Amino acid sequence: MRVVLADYGAGNLRSVCSALARAGAEPVIAVDPEEVRSAPLAVVAGVGHAGAAAVGLGPLADALRGRAAAGRPVLGICVGMQLFFERSEEGGAGLGLLRGPVRRLRARTVPHMGWNTLDTLQPSTLLAGVDGADVYFAHSYAAEPEDEITTAVADHDGSIVAAVESGPLAGVQFHPERSGAAGARVLENALRWSRSA
């Protein structure tokens, strides 16, 4: 299936693109809002600085909001997931599709960098088969959802939101494209989820 990666200049799309192709998708990188709006699944990926990312999204922001309003699936990865929320301590406003802030981690060591264990809180299509698996995190900020949408957490001097799912939106704070077999499973699950969403 066709998957469009929203290109907002944050880099690292190549890795996500390759991982999606391995999962069986036909990934395309797009800057055109119309392409982002119409794809069966849109992915907002990228490491990066949330402030720079929010600015970079530009006209793609409306396309992503339009998808969400129409119930069309969007997968957010790392900063991409953080952008779903209202605002970030790292830099300004997000898309405001999910309620809550993105805050700097209050752990002894920040960034939260490395492999950590996923603790799934409720069964979901996205996280099928990966409860207890180790996945790779690299972030200094994390979402703090106001609603009951957290589907997995990880522990790093306290609980960190590792995945959220809410209607057409799914977000993972870790990097499935860099998380070995467990990450590949999450991307395969995401394709399955988007077909049923």
Partner 1 sequence: MVKKRLIACLDVAGGRVVKGVRFERLRDVGDPVELAERYSEVGVDELVFLDITASVEGREPLPALVERAAERLTIPFTVGGGIAGLEDARTLLQAGADKVAVNRAAFDDPALLTTLAAEFGSQAVVCAIDSRAGRVVTHGGRVPRESSAVDWAAAAVERGAGELLVTSIDTDGTRAGYDLELTGAIATTVAVPVIASGGAGESRHIADAFAAGAEAALVASIVHERPERVPELKAELRQAGWNLRS
The question of whether 17 is a catalytic residue gets the answer no
| Nearest CB to partner 1, comparing residues 48 and 168 | 48
10, 53 in Cβ contact below 8 A? yes
The question of whether 148 is a catalytic residue gets the answer no
DSSP code string of the chain: -EEEEE--S-S-HHHHHHHHHHTT-EEEEE--HHHHHHSSEEEE---S-HHHHHHHHTTHHHHHHHHHHTT--EEEETHHHHTTSSEETTSSB---SSSSEEEE--SSSSSEEEEEE-EESS--STTTT-TT-EEEEEESEEE--SSS-EEEEEESSSEEEEEEEETTEEEESS-GGGSHHHHHHHHHHHHHHHHH-
State in angstroms the smallest separation of the CB of 64 from partner 1. Answer: 20
State in angstroms the smallest separation of the CB of 49 from partner 1. Answer: 5
| Nearest CB to partner 1, comparing residues 130 and 149 | 130
Q: Which candidate in 35, 78, 112, 165 is catalytic?
A: 78
The question of whether 78 is a catalytic residue gets the answer yes
| Nearest CB to partner 1, comparing residues 68 and 162 | 162
Q: Which candidate in 90, 165, 177, 188 is catalytic?
A: 177
State in angstroms the smallest separation of the CB of 12 from partner 1. Answer: 6
Which residues of the chain form contacts with partner 1 (CB under 8 A)? 11-12, 14-15, 18-19, 47-52, 79, 90, 108-117, 134, 136-140, 154-157, 175, 177-181, 183-184
State in angstroms the smallest separation of the CB of 168 from partner 1. Answer: 27
Which residues are tagged catalytic? Answer: 78, 175, 177
